[in-house]
Structure formats: structure tokens, C-alpha cells
């Protein structure tokens, strides 16, 4: 269920919104194959009306289940936006979409959460990656040396007409 609030309720005083949004609510399922949502997003925000805009500020927090890009081990990482803020204009090109005096904060939260995702999740800073395994050597056909195999491969590629 998206996070929607009524703008008319802001005329008297700011609103305080607390609760949780699931990965499905935020449309974050399947965004990244190395990152999954461990627990729902917990939000604690205050919404204030200004003359021509709405200011939303507060805290967003969720737990991510990640896979290390180097060693492929699973680990958990906490994603926290402690001083999250969003200014929603009520006029102009970038104005917030208002339907029946209600505005939806979900797309704005989603965008900032996606920007805060780790680009290359690492289980620890000094992760050394997968343990070294013996490499299998590719042997050229019997009777051919390495230079002949390479030149044959290039010769085949040179025959391509692109």
C-alpha cells in the first residue's frame, strides 16, 4: 500500500507519518540480482506545507540481503537515510501529482532508496574474493605450437565480412 497523505490536513499543522512499506509497495522486487530487501522500509517522517511546496523530512531505514561481488557470500547490510528530505512543488513543471487532495510519497522514497543501494556490495572492505583454484590449461592441437593456434584464430576472424 503506497504512502499517501491528504494535503488539506497540512493546513492546520504538520503531519507525522510512521510505518512500514514492503518491497512490493516500493516496487523494488528484482531490481538488482545481488541485492534483495530483507525487511520492510521503516519510515518516520514529518510533512509540512509551505506556500508553494510541501517539505518532507525524516528517517528511512531498511535491511538489505546482499551477495558479495567478490566472494559471492551472502551478508546483510543496513540502509539508512537518517536525514532524508524531499521538497515537493505544488506548482510548475515538476509539481507533485495530487489526486483528490492526496499526494503519494512512495515514488520519491523509492528513488532515493535506489540511489542509496550499494553499487558493488562487499561483505567487508578487504574481501579477497574467491579462493584461488588451479587453472586448467588449454592445449593447442597436437603438433601445433601456440603461435600457430593464435594465427589460425585470427585468420578465421579476418575472413568475416562485416
Cβ atoms within 10 Å of 8's Cβ, excluding its own? 10
> If residue 25 lies in a helix (H) or strand (E), which one and from where to where?
helix 23-26
Low-confidence ranges of the chain (pLDDT < 50): none
Quote the pLDDT of residue 142. 60
CB count, 10 Å around CB of 106?
16
pLDDT at 162: 76
> Is 48 in a helix, a strand, or coil?
strand
pLDDT of residue 98: 86
Residue 154 located in a structural domain: no
Nine-digit cell at 29?
A: 522486487
Q: Are 28 and 110 in contact (CB under 8 A)?
A: yes
**pLDDT value of residue 133:** 61
153 lies in some domain: no
Dump pLDDT digits (tens) for 30-45.
778 888 888 899 999 9
Indicate whether 42 belongs to any domain.
Answer: yes
Give the pLDDT confidence score for residue 149 in this predicted structure: 55
In a domain, residue 40? The reply is yes
Nearest to 33 by CA among 91, 99, 102, 120: 120
User: What is the tally of structural domains in the chain?
Assistant: 1
d(CA 121, CA 87): 30
Residue 161 lies in a domain: no
- Residue 112: per-residue pLDDT: 92
End-to-end CA distance of the chain: 53
Q: For the whole prediction, is pTM greater than 0.85?
A: no
pLDDT the model gives residue 50: 86
Mean pLDDT, the chain, rounded, equals: 84
Range of the domain at 11: 4-116
pLDDT of residue 58: 95
Amino acid at each position: 500500500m503506497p504512502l499517501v497523505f491528504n494535503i488539506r490536513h497540512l493546513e492546520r499543522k504538520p503531519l507525522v507519518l510512521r510505518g512500514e512499506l514492503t518491497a512490493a509497495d516500493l516496487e523494488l522486487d528484482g531490481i538488482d540480482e545481488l541485492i534483495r530487501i530483507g525487511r520492510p522500509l521503516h519510515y518516520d517522517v514529518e510533512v509540512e506545507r509551505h506556500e508553494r511546496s510541501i517539505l518532507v523530512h525524516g528517517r528511512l531505514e531498511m535491511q538489505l540481503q546482499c551477495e558479495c561481488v567478490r566472494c559471492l557470500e551472502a551478508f546483510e547490510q543496513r540502509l539508512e537515510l537518517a536525514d532524508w528530505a524531499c521538497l515537493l512543488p505544488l506548482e510548475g513543471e515538476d509539481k507533485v501529482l495530487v489526486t483528490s487532495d492526496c499526494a503519494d510519497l512512495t515514488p520519491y522514497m523509492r528513488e532515493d532508496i535506489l540511489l542509496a543501494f550499494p553499487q558493488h556490495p562487499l561483505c567487508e572492505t578487504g574481501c579477497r574474493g574467491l579462493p584461488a583454484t588451479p587453472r586448467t590449461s588449454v592445449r593447442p592441437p597436437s603438433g601445433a605450437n601456440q603461435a600457430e593456434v593464435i594465427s589460425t584464430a585470427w585468420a578465421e576472424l579476418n575472413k568475416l565480412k562485416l
